[in-house]
Amino acid sequence: MEEKLREKLNDFLHRREVRSQARAAATKGQKSVVVEFRQLLEHDEELARYLLERPEDFLQTAAQELLGMTGAPLQLRVRALGKDNTVEIRNLRESHLRKFIQVEGIVTKASEVRPEVLVAAWRCRWCGYLHEVPQEGEVLTKPTLCENPNCTQRTGPFELDIENSKFRDWQHLSLQERPEQLGRGRMPRRLECIVREDLTEKAVPGNHVEVTGFLQALPERTREGQKRTVFRKIFMVNYLEVRQKGVEEIDLSEEEIQKIKELSKDPHLREKLIRSIAPNIYGHEQVKEGILLQLMGSDPVELDEARIRGDLHLLLVGDPGCLVADERIVLGDGAIVKIGELGSQHLQPLNTQVLTGEGYRRALATRFHIYRDQPVLEIVTETGKSIKGTYNHPILCLERRGRCTVQVWKRLDEIQPGDRVVTVPWIPCTITAPVKTGWRPLERKHGPRPKCKLPAELDEEVAALLGYLLGNGWVRRCRVGFNINREEEDLLPVLSSIVERKFGLPLRVREKKPAPGRVGQREVRRRTPIFIAELCSIDVAANLSFLREKRVPALIMRSGNKVVAEFLAWLFEANGCVFFKGRGGIQLESESLELLRDVQMLLLRFGIHSRIVGSNLRICRAESILKFSESIGFRSKKKTARLAKLAGGRRELPRRPRKQLSERVIMVLPAGRADVYDIEVPDGHRFIANGIISHNTAKSALLKWVSNVAPRGLYTSAVKSTAAGLTATAVRDELTGGWSLEAGALVIADGGVACVDEFEKMDEREANAILESLEQQTISVSKGGIVATLNTRTSVLAAANPKGGRIDPNLSVAEQIKIPPVLLSRFDLIFPVRDAPDPQTDDKISSHMIGLHSRAGKVVKPPISPELLKKYIVYAKKNIHPQIKSKEVEEKIKQFYINWRSVAANPGNPLPITPRQLESIIRLAKANARARLSEEVTEEDVGCAIRLVEYMLKEVGVDYRTGKVDIDTIMTGQPKSQRDRMVKFMEVLKELEKRYPEGIPESEIFREAARRGLTDPNFVRGLLDEEVTRGWVFVVKEEKGETYYARVIKK
């Protein structure tokens, strides 16, 4: 550092506030002096700039000055650089190397504290002279020569004297980007950090920290020990500050606070808040109300040796809304693919653009879903379009409300014949490059090599041949062929030329003359002869075998418009015609309905509207006929002339461009069961399926919305997460080789909301790991010599699917989800999202959507924008701390609890509620008061909380056999009626043992059980198998078709 700057630094350190802090630190034995960057900037701007540009020199010089001033080895630590000098982890580049910057993130890993040698004492083995060598870098440095002039062996060797060496504490931390900093579909980036001295053990995994320091590049080494040309980034921390959790991280301006206070005075505030939760997902008011209260939360109750959580946990159980594998999805470039081909694994990450049905607008599909063996429904429109999916899969519909036409999302089971679904009039395509065919000759062990050529790319000529073969040809084991009428004989030279150029083989042509035939008793003769053309090649036939399916090939669906136009022209040439009956039009005939639907989709590439009638696809609109004539056309002279005549008549009509924006549904029918698929499209939640606007996965979209709006939200899936990934674990540290703590999703989301999808996919180990987090809100880790407890003060919003894919109304929800009852009982609210059509519910859904949508195509913003809603939540959690102060409120809660508990006083009645639900009511009431920005819980808040808990108990806590609320359905997984029947079953076994000491016949068990009132043989069979599995009952013998059982313990 220059002398001029050194004097300025000395003057700064001798300022009263800095000098007094330095002397106090030296007296107390502290190791650092903390100043704000603002203080340095106010003192001298040039000095502040020098810190930013040359931090190592600046801090080293400051340490020397402090040593001279106080006589103690103190470090200068600079905090609060401000937003201008704060860099996001993912934006760190080589320009930031050795620059003083500030970084924010979440600590995901913390190593043990280790000693780092600062000054190494080396003792000469020959003379015993002690050398003090300051250490820099990561490799221990030895003296080169002994400084003792009397040493006889000045080159050493030297040994390290640990007792006389000077050490300092050292720790390795790993920072990760905060969840709220991540864009949609982006992976969080990490940054390795080194902290020393008094900064060690200041942060633990899960802490949100703000660090200042400088970035260094350290070389990586190969396995052979050689240095690589690519370096790793290490952040040398000068100052570390642990920030408060969740909402305290977000600062609000005075203008924003004033806007929030004005909003709280709105008499319809509650309704607006609920309507603003996930506005793109219709209905589910109770679910949205529960999520609103979860986002608000309540304060924990701190006791002397215990802590009662204030965070709310919610579980959503619903059916997956998906499509069958064959439904055609339009990608961002206009390619048309089957949805089942987009992925191969459930929850597989995607990075595929899809068209949203809004012109050229594209959105990114980020995840692939598969659900096995689901019930399927099919709707068919007036033009023959069809879509098959689960009963609850939403598609976009048009509804007439007064003078307005509004767009609404409806489930397939809500759609009735006569409803109108939104369709696309045109599919834009930007594909220009030819598609690779991937055709290869067959492998041969013997015999000559193949003589044919196989095209590597699908061009217009190959597409023409494929079109004609699909329409009027055949593919057999060793040859490919087609027929041509004499009236279209002019096509034969063209097709022969294509075959010879592209496949290198001649086309064998023979004429088949008319032959007599019979229609009833009358003899007829075919009018004209036909030509039969064949290409004989086992390799060509094998590679074209996909044409046997009578579907448009996937190669064509992925090709550009020039290739598609040629394919369609020859397909229509083979099996199409121009007719003049009635209005006239163009027609394609096929027995394959799916082929016609494929062609219907391809015609949308050119904006051509078509209609499927029976086994024919017809183009009758004047504008579509002209587009067909201009973009596709026919290839034979005869059909070209007829098309020209038809188009000529249409050109004389006045041009009235018309876009088909919706189509009437004519049929809704069950389609059996099938594996179903879906994709997540976070931006817009929509895509094109079979020309119809379809919605993506709703539950996942709801969880993603919450994770984006919550002040500290995080989304994860139980399928792709281990127990350690959800909680925390001890792992090997890459830098030190020792053990370090690494935080999981719940620790990272500490102070926020953790959204866990596919919750039922957790195994027993993962369920046990998350149980402590849900109740105590801590995670205990004991591994590798590390025993630690981390905070997980997190609200959990979980989503699960029922075992059979759909919720069975004849079974309790607890019986239908693979979640242990001990885990299920920790949720404050459980919401089943059922798919039962209900006119009243449908009317409410439509009314709700009217408030969100205006005239067709223009979507109205929600009552409260996500940005304002997030700030409203932040302000409420920061400043509002509701308490129960009124005796009337306490009495209302008590009366509800006592009244419900009193039901169990009657013999035979189950227990409907436990203290856990009482705690949930108190938490929900406080959250409701906080949503109103009220410091006091009112009777109205308690009423809302009781209503939600009652709704949950009546939906998921009812024993379907008795129709009574039984909390044991949730708490233990077995209602009282089932336990009573189990006791009765064991009494049956005990009684039969006396009559059959050598073994009880199975038939007698069923007979006696029926006599005792256990008339359901499936239930008896289930109990018997369960007891055998548990080992309380065993099979004695099997003879003459009868199985004999006995109990293990006979009391």
Residue-wise pLDDT for 998-1019, tens only, equals 888 888 888 888 888 887 888 7
In a domain, residue 1039? The reply is yes
In a domain, 720, yes or no: no
Q: Give the whole-angstrom CA distance, residue 585 versus residue 568.
A: 16
Mean pLDDT of 907-927: 86
Q: State the pLDDT at residue 222.
A: 74
Do residues 625 and 618 make contact, with C-beta atoms less than 8 angstroms apart?
Answer: no
> Does 228 map to a domain?
yes
Euclidean distance between CA atoms 645 and 630, whole angstroms:
13
In the prediction, which pLDDT does 857 show?
38
**786 vs 604, more confident:** 604
What is the distance between the terminal CA atoms of the chain, rounded to a whole angstrom?
91
Q: Are residues 362 and 469 in the same domain?
A: no
Query: What is the number of structural domains in the chain?
Result: 6
Pair 140, 120: CB distance under 8 Å: yes
The CA distance from 457 to 196, in Å, is 61
User: In the structure encoding, which two tokens stand for residue 649, read together?
Assistant: 């008549």
pLDDT at position 220 over 90 = no
Asked if the model's pLDDT at residue 848 lies above 80, the reply is no
With a cut of 60, say whether residue 244 has pLDDT above it: no
Amino acid type, 760: E
d(CA 297, CA 878): 11
Instruction: Tell me: do 585 and 461 sit in the same domain.
Output: yes
> Would you say residue 762 lies in a domain?
no
The CATH number of residue 372's host domain is: 2.170.16.10
CATH number at residue 11: 3.30.1640.10
The residues near 607 (Cβ < 8 Å, ≥ 6 apart) are: 425, 426, 624, 627
Per residue in 947-959, pLDDT (tens digit) is 998 888 887 777 7
What pLDDT is attached to residue 842? 43
Whether residue 699 contacts residue 316, with contact meaning beta carbons closer than 8 Å, is answered with yes
Q: Which of 588, 620, 651 is the last residue of a domain?
A: 651
Query: Which CATH number does the domain housing residue 197 bear?
Result: 2.40.50.140
Q: What percent of the chain has pLDDT over 90?
A: 32
In a domain, 840, yes or no: no
Q: Which residue has the tokens 């909402």?
A: 247
Mean pLDDT of 620-647: 92
- Per-residue pLDDT averaged across 595-604, rounded? 94
At residue 566, does pLDDT exceed 50? yes
- Give the residue-averaged pLDDT of 527-539: 83
Whether 673 has a pLDDT exceeding 70, the answer reads: yes
Structure tokens at 791: 């905070």
Q: Which residues pair with 345 in a beta bridge?
A: none
Are the C-beta atoms of residues 375 and 366 closer than 8 Å to each other? no
Of the candidates 251, 151, 86, the one whose C-alpha atom is nearest the C-alpha of residue 871 is 251
pLDDT of residue 836: 47
Helix (H) or strand (E) holding 169: strand 166-176
pLDDT digits (tens, 9 = 90+) for 134-193: 888 778 889 989 988 888 888 878 999 999 999 999 998 989 887 666 654 466 788 999
Q: Is the pLDDT of residue 459 over 90?
A: yes
Of the pLDDT bands very low, low, confident and very high (cuts 50, 70, 90), residue 777 is confident
Complete DSSP assignment for 698-718:
HHHHHHHHHHHHSTTEEEEES
pLDDT tens string 956-977:
777 766 777 777 777 766 777 7
Least confident of 22-26, 82-86, 650-654, 841-845: 841-845
Domain end marker among 622, 651, 680: 651
**Cα 970 to Cα 956: distance, rounded to the nearest angstrom:** 7
pLDDT tier at 1032 (50, 70, 90 boundaries)? Answer: confident
Is residue 633 predicted with pLDDT exceeding 90? yes
Backbone angles phi, psi at 259, to 5 degrees: -65, -40
Euclidean distance between CA atoms 757 and 186, whole angstroms: 18
Q: What is the pLDDT of residues 408-429, one digit of tens each?
A: 778 788 889 999 999 999 999 9
Q: Give the model's pLDDT for residue 723.
A: 60
Q: What percent of the chain has pLDDT over 70?
A: 87
- As a whole number of angstroms, the distance between CA 21 and CA 31 comes to 12
- Give the pLDDT score at 850: 43
Q: How far is 749 from 245, CA to CA, in rounded Å?
A: 9
Residue 62 lies in a domain: yes
Binned at pLDDT 50, 70 and 90, residue 861 comes out as low
139 lies in the same domain as 222: yes
- Of the pLDDT bands very low, low, confident and very high (cuts 50, 70, 90), residue 653 is low
Tokens representing residue 992 in the block: 């039969």
Q: Which of 133-147, 813-827, 901-915 has the highest mean pLDDT?
A: 133-147
Tell me the Ramachandran region of residue 784: left when phi exceeds 0, alpha when psi lies from -120 to 50, beta otherwise. Answer: left
| Alpha carbon separation from 656 to 336, 622, 651 (Å, rounded) | 29, 9, 11
> Which token pair is 828?
């404050």
Query: Do both 608 and 673 map to the same domain?
Result: no
In a domain, 802, yes or no: no
Quick one: 537 and 615 in the same domain?
yes
User: Residue 796 falls within a domain, yes or no?
Assistant: no
φ, ψ of residue 899 to 5 degrees: the values are: -60, -40
Mean pLDDT value of segment 201-207? 82
pLDDT at 945: 92
Phi, psi of 726 (to 5 degrees): -85, -30
pLDDT at 521 over 60: no
Query: How would you classify the pairing of strands 795-800 and 314-318?
Result: parallel
Rounded to the nearest 10 degrees, the angle between the axes of helix 939-956 and helix 915-931 is 130
CB contact at 8 A, 169 and 31: no
Assess whether pLDDT exceeds 80 at residue 589: yes
Looking at residue 307, its pLDDT comes to 79
pLDDT tens track for 874-887: 899 889 999 998 89
Given a cut of 80, is residue 806 above it in pLDDT?
A: no
Structure tokens at 1051: 């009391």
Give the pLDDT of residue 927: 94
**Residue 18 or 791, more confident:** 18
pTM, entire model: 0.62
Cα–Cα distance, 708 to 179 (Å, whole number): 8
pLDDT at 905 over 80: no
Task: Identify the H or E element spanning 221.
Answer: strand 208-221
Does pLDDT of 1037 surpass 80? yes
**C-beta separation of 822 from 972 below 8 A:** no
Which CATH number goes with the domain that contains 1015? 1.10.10
Mean pLDDT lowest among 264-278, 736-750, 806-820, 833-847:
833-847
The region, left, alpha or beta by phi > 0 then psi within -120 to 50, assigned to residue 942 is: alpha
Q: 760 and 819 in contact (C-beta within 8 Å)?
A: yes
Same domain, 896 and 1024: no
Residues 448 and 591 in one domain: yes
Token digits of residue 300: 């924990």
Comparing 482-491, 547-556, 620-629, 819-828, the range with the smallest average pLDDT is 819-828
Q: Are residues 665 and 543 in the same domain?
A: no
Same domain, 955 and 1030: no
Q: Specify the pairing of strand 75-79 against strand 32-36.
A: parallel
The most confident of the ranges 283-287, 377-381, 757-761, 822-826 is 377-381
Asked if pLDDT for residue 701 goes beyond 90, the answer is no
Domain that residue 578 falls in: 435-516+525-651
Domain final position from 938, 971, 1004: 971
Element (H, E) at 235: strand 227-243
Residue owning tokens 């004991």: 782
- 225 and 336 share one domain: no
Question: Tell me: the pLDDT tens digits for 320-370?
Answer: 668 999 999 999 999 999 999 999 887 688 889 999 888 888 888 887 888
- CA distances to 230, 440, 487 from 474, in Å: 58, 20, 21
For the cut 60, the answer to whether the pLDDT of residue 529 exceeds it is yes
pLDDT of residue 977: 73
Peptide bond into 157 cis (omega under 30): yes
The mean per-residue pLDDT over the stretch 634-640 comes to 93
Mean of the per-residue pLDDT values of the chain = 83
Model confidence at 406, pLDDT cuts 50, 70, 90, reads confident
Q: Are residues 58 and 113 in the same domain?
A: no
Is 896 in the same domain as 1026? no
What is the average per-residue pLDDT within 56-76?
90
Average pLDDT over residues 284-307: 85
d(Cα 988, Cα 982) in Å, to the nearest integer?
10
